[in-house]
Amino acid sequence: MVDNPRAGGAKSFDLLKNPLFLLGLEPTASLEKIADAYEDAVADQVASESEITTAREALVNPRQRLAVELSFLFDTPPSQVKVICAALKDHASSNDLVRAADRLAPLSQANLLSHVGAQEPSKDDLLFALMDAHARIEPEAIHSKLQSTRNAAGFVIPSLDSVRDQLHELLSLHTKAVLGGYSTATASARPVGE
């Protein structure tokens, strides 16, 4: 999810490393489904065993799970998530991914734009779209969706304050990831200024 070092010490934001993506799960996955997906991922060698184990642990640990859910395409229908995941795995162009992000709800849009921005230097329009997406995220709506997905999965529902705090952390993570997409701080000055 965020473990790739970048130039200048910033961390990358990679949707394909999100535990839900890595294990091929939806946010409604129960402990049993997580265990099955873990075994399948190890057998299929989708990543190193330590990465797969870390992904499983993040999904079953309530503290880590919220960060995983909010850094996923959480407010996107599962059929659309599969299409976007396939596009990411097929190394779709940045332009195609940005166009796909335009059709997503704010949280998913912010996550996809951050993924694109972390991979290469961002143009000013991507930075503006990312700020706009974050401004449109409604913590109450996200909390409501978390209530339904956590109930379906059989996990404890986080407080609204926890959701707000984690969304604030996500904004910080997105900012660092997108700015880390530039080779130097000087290279980011013009797009950020615009």
Residues 6+ apart with CB under 8 A from 67: 1, 58, 166, 169, 170
pLDDT at 4: 39
Tokens of 70: 């909010």
pLDDT at 25: 96
pLDDT at 193: 63
User: Which residue from 75, 55, 73 is spatially nearest to 65, judged by alpha carbons?
Assistant: 55
Tell me the mean pLDDT per 10 residues along the chain, length 194: 40 89 95 97 96 97 94 94 94 94 97 94 87 97 97 96 97 91 70 64
**CB neighbours of residue 168 within 10 Å:** 12
What values do phi and psi take at 5, rounded to 5? -65, 145
pTM assigned to the model: 0.88
pLDDT at 6: 37
pLDDT at 191: 67
pLDDT at 8: 38
Tokens of 56: 């499983």
3-state secondary structure of 13: coil
